[in-house]
């Protein structure tokens, strides 16, 4: 419910911003949202540990619920961008607390399986949300789309109220915030996976920013279909990617996924019709389905057992940086000119190729060190 709530509006926001004269700020739609999530993630991690999981989960759901109500009233560019920043807090808080809560309530030996279910649920929300949002926008209005987003956020809030807190002794919020330090969120062991994550997710920021207009130019009535295709392709790969990385190693599987990533971005850049565009979306989704769970698993491999949480937080910050950079830079290149969109995909392909070079010549030594 939560993932569908904020993702369902993404394909339609460029048109919403353009209608108020904000076409020069298309890259900020995802960029500011991601920046807010990145800035809030260190705070959310400390608050989750000190003040309770449920409180932070509720806060994240409340933010996305309220944001949906306010979008129809954000009729100037700066009001809209300010609301995007506030809305980004939802993903900075809710996923951190949800993941931590899950580790509390499942047996240690089944945590990987449980994380798989959580990731699958999130992917389904990310796939179905944009389709639902595009259909509602086309058949009804922007306002109805935003209010549906609010309804989904409210449902996630109400369902969370039924959960029981897993921290017996909670601290006051102001005390927890003062304890946030750089050392609380940055872990050196996560450097190899953070490098890969930044280079990998740059393309995701590009796609979230330029794909809605690109898909529209190809004749799609419902722009969310593109998102659904690559997310569903990602889900299909997740069924065996984790087991494959256990069997064949993290780095070899990441090399495969990154080769697919480079090819998919080149296909998207050269796409001249809707069929080629969908093929590119499928290949891109397959690369995500291989790389994301493998990066998570490799991060936990490299970390000391007592620092796994901090290592994951470091890697997730890298994820936010990659998406934000991809969004801002592609928005500047695109500049509301459809003919420039292929250049954003080619840039993303070049950056993904750098990731492949790193995996071929540098990253393997970290895996061997871990194995030893």
Choice among 7-21, 182-196, 203-217 with the minimum mean pLDDT:
182-196
pLDDT score of 304: 75
1-162: which CATH architecture?
A: Up-down Bundle (1.20)
Confidence of residue 372 (pLDDT cuts 50, 70, 90): very low
Distance, CA of 51 to CA of 286 (rounded, Å): 38
Res 294: pLDDT: 84
| Per-residue pLDDT band at 305 (split at 50, 70, 90) | low
Q: Which residue has the higher pLDDT, 286 or 120?
A: 286
Q: pLDDT for 340-357, tens place per residue?
A: 999 999 999 999 999 999
Cα distances (Å, whole numbers) of residue 59 to 38, 188, 215 = 16, 30, 34
pLDDT tier, 85 (very low <50, low <70, confident <90, very high otherwise) = very high
**What is the predicted pLDDT for the residue at 314?**
80
What are the pLDDT digits (tens) for 100-120?
788 788 776 666 566 667 777
pLDDT at 177: 53
pLDDT of residue 224: 73
Structure tokens at 234: 């990602």
Q: Domain 183-372, CATH 1.20.1050.10 — does that match? A: no
Q: What is the pLDDT of residues 54-72, one digit of tens each?
A: 888 999 999 999 999 999 9
Report the pLDDT value the prediction gives residue 371, as an integer from 0 to 100. Answer: 44
8 Å CB contact between 182 and 64:
no
Q: How confident is the model at residue 370 (pLDDT cuts 50, 70, 90)?
A: very low
Burial 145-163 (b: 16+ CB within 10 A, else e): bbbbbbebbbbbbeebeee
Instruction: Check the CA dihedral 84-88-89-94 and report its sign.
Output: positive
At 73, the pLDDT band (50, 70, 90 cuts) reads: very high
Q: What is the pLDDT of residues 21-53, one digit of tens each?
A: 888 888 788 788 888 888 887 777 777 777 788
Sequence ranges of the domains in the chain: 1-162, 183-372
The domains spanning 1-162 and 183-372 adopt the same CATH topology: yes
pLDDT at position 30: 79
Residue 193 pLDDT exceeds 60: yes
Residue 360: CB atoms within 10 A of its CB come to: 12
Alpha helices by DSSP H, listed for the chain, are: 2-7, 13-19, 28-51, 53-70, 77-105, 111-139, 142-160, 173-177, 191-217, 224-248, 250-270, 274-302, 308-334, 341-361, 364-371
State mean pLDDT over 247-260.
Answer: 88
Q: Is the pLDDT of residue 311 over 80?
A: no
Mean pLDDT confidence for 239-267 = 86
pLDDT on residue 320: 83
pLDDT at 118: 79
Which pair of structure tokens corresponds to residue 292?
């994301």
**Residue 365: predicted pLDDT:** 67
| pTM for this entry | 0.76
153-188 tens-digit pLDDT? 999 999 999 998 887 766 665 555 555 565 556 778
Q: Is the backbone of residue 310 left (phi > 0), alpha (psi -120 to 50) or beta?
A: alpha
Mean pLDDT over the full length of the chain = 84
């Amino acid at each position: 419910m939560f993932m569908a709530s904020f993702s369902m509006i993404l394909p339609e926001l460029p048109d919403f911003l353009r209608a108020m004269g904000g076409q020069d700020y298309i890259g900020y739609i995802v960029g500011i949202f991601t920046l807010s999530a990145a800035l809030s993630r260190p705070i959310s991690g400390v608050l989750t540990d000190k003040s309770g999981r449920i409180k932070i989960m509720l806060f994240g759901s409340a933010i996305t619920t309220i944001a949906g109500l306010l979008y129809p009233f954000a009729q100037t560019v700066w009001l809209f961008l300010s609301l995007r920043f506030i809305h980004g807090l939802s993903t900075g808080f809710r996923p951190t607390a949800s993941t931590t809560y899950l580790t509390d309530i499942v047996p240690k030996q089944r945590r990987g399986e449980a994380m798989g279910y959580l990731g699958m649920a999130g992917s389904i929300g990310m796939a179905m949300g944009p389709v639902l949002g595009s259909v509602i926008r086309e058949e009804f209005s922007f306002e109805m789309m935003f209010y549906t987003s609010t309804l989904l956020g409210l449902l996630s809030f109400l369902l969370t109220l039924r959960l029981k807190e897993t921290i017996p002794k909670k601290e006051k919020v102001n005390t927890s915030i003062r304890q946030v330090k750089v050392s609380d969120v940055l872990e050196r062991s996560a450097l190899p996976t953070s490098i890969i994550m930044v280079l990998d997710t740059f393309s995701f920021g590009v796609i979230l920013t330029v794909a809605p207009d690109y898909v529209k130019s190809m004749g799609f009535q419902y722009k969310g279909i593109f998102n659904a295709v690559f997310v569903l392709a990602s889900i299909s790969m997740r069924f065996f990617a984790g087991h494959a990385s256990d069997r064949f190693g993290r780095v070899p599987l990441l090399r495969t996924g990154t080769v697919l990533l480079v090819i998919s971005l080149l296909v998207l850049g050269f796409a001249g019709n809707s069929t080629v565009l969908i093929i590119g979306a499928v290949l891109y989704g397959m690369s995500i389905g291989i790389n994301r769970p493998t990066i998570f698993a490799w991060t936990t491999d490299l970390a000391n057992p007592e620092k796994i949480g901090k290592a994951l937080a470091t890697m997730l910050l890298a994820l936010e940086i990659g998406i934000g950079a991809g969004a801002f830079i592609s928005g500047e290149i695109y500049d509301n000119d459809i003919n420039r969109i292929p250049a954003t995909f080619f840039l993303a392909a070049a950056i993904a190729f750098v990731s492949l070079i790193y995996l071929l010549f540098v990253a393997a030594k970290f895996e061997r060190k871990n194995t030893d």
